[in-house]
Amino acid sequence: MNLNLIILIYIGFIHNCVSSSWARLNVPKILLPIYSSKIINFTLEAKSELEPDTDDLCFAWSSSQPDIVSITPIYENRNAKFNGYDCSHRAIVSALSKHSQRMTSIIFAEDLKTNKLIRCDVIVDQIHSIRIKHTTTHLYLPEHSPESLTAEALDSESNTFTSIDGLPFEWKVFNDQTNFEDSRNVLRIAKFTDSEYEASDSIKQLESLGLHGHKILIEGLKT
């Protein structure tokens, strides 16, 4: 009888952590690159079907391995409190691990009003390869919209990293035909800060330093 009691308690705990109808996280699992020269962040967000007003949600955030993955609550409304604690339904996940091997951590979000838990698994690993994502290979002259190219990073198992926003990339337009005119006179890389299109603050900051992020704009100059 004691064994049955232990099993029931264990199953109940896992149910509260993994899934519940009262609250959910925007993603169940996160894959981030190992910290080398830049800490990569991702924003976790809790949502509740019982409380659609996110200002009323109060979660306490924690990491099972804070030296590998840290969690920083985002307090958007300092007036929202519960039992003296500031309320937060969003938090920034940061990959801190510098280990060359794959590391994991669990992020817990505890509802301060119900003491229930939801979780998100975070994996930190090395970037093994990258690929370029695009919409079309046909570009038009400057009076038309540019094409956005996005670099996606993959691990050794071809899993796509959740975020590489903030990593600097070197993009080059080069000629693959010897009888073709200088490619820089035909295509050019445009800055998001000089365009009408939105980009993350990290990409804008890199462009202010004369660098590029994982996403760029390509414009056609002439045929």
Burial of 218 (0-12, 13-18, 19+ CB in 10 A): middle
Distance CA 62, CA 162 (A): 20
Instruction: Encode pLDDT of 70-86 as tens digits.
Output: 999 998 776 677 777 78
Q: Is the per-residue pLDDT at 56 higher than 80?
A: no
| pLDDT band at 126; cut points 50, 70, 90 | very high
Task: Retrieve residue 144's tokens.
Answer: 């038309």
> How high is the pLDDT of residue 102?
95
The whole-number average pLDDT for the span 192-217 is 92
Element (H or E) spanning 203, and its range? helix 201-208
In what order do the strands lie in the sheet containing 69-74? Answer: 24-25, 41-47, 90-95, 69-74
> How high is the pLDDT of residue 202?
93
| pLDDT band at 138; cut points 50, 70, 90 | confident
Window from 19-23, 125-129, 152-156, 170-174 with minimum mean pLDDT: 19-23
CA angle 66, 202, 57 (to 5 degrees): 55
Give CA separation, 116 vs 32, 45, 145, 203, in Å.
26, 16, 48, 37
> How high is the pLDDT of residue 57?
83
The whole-number average pLDDT for the span 4-20 is 34
Nearest to 122 by CA among 158, 96, 156: 96
Cβ contact 173:190 at 8 Å:
no
> How high is the pLDDT of residue 104?
97
Q: Is the per-residue pLDDT at 15 higher than 60?
A: no
Residue ranges of the chain that CATH labels 2.60.40.1510: 23-125
| Per-chain mean pLDDT for the chain | 82
Q: How many CA atoms lie within 13 A of 48 on its CB side?
A: 22
To which CATH superfamily is domain 23-125 assigned? ntegrin, alpha v. Chain A, domain 3 (2.60.40.1510)
